[in-house]
Amino acid sequence: MARYFTEDHEWIELDGNVGTVGISDYAQGQLGDIVFVDVPADGRELSKGDEAAVIESVKAASDVYSPVSGTVIEGNPALADQPDLVNSDPESEGWFFRITLSDPSEVDELMDEASYEAFVAKL
């Protein structure tokens, strides 16, 4: 499966027309200990760049933006009881939501893993 990143440190992993979205390891490191996550409701329509989820950490509250447009098909139910999954496994078990893409061409505007690593190295 292909994985892409935004400049706001969200990632999306594609499986056909369905994307799984989360935040990068870099982002969770900047936030510190995550204490609460609010994921989007199933069926919610999102446009690329929309605020999709909220993360609260001991340092700050932060928004998670949708890297693509589409319809949310599932929020990660595990995050309600275990928001720290975002810290321990941000790029796997700590995912935020799954979305059906309405415009797959939007992925072309995102960074691949190598480009994202180069982007983070400059921060």
What tens digit of pLDDT does each residue of 46-84 get? 999 999 999 999 998 999 999 999 999 999 999 999 999
Reported CATH class of domain 2-121: mainly beta
pLDDT of 32 strictly over 90: yes
pLDDT attached to residue 114:
97
The neighbouring-strand residues paired with 45 are 71
Evaluate if pTM is beyond 0.85: yes
Domain segments of the chain as ranges: 2-121
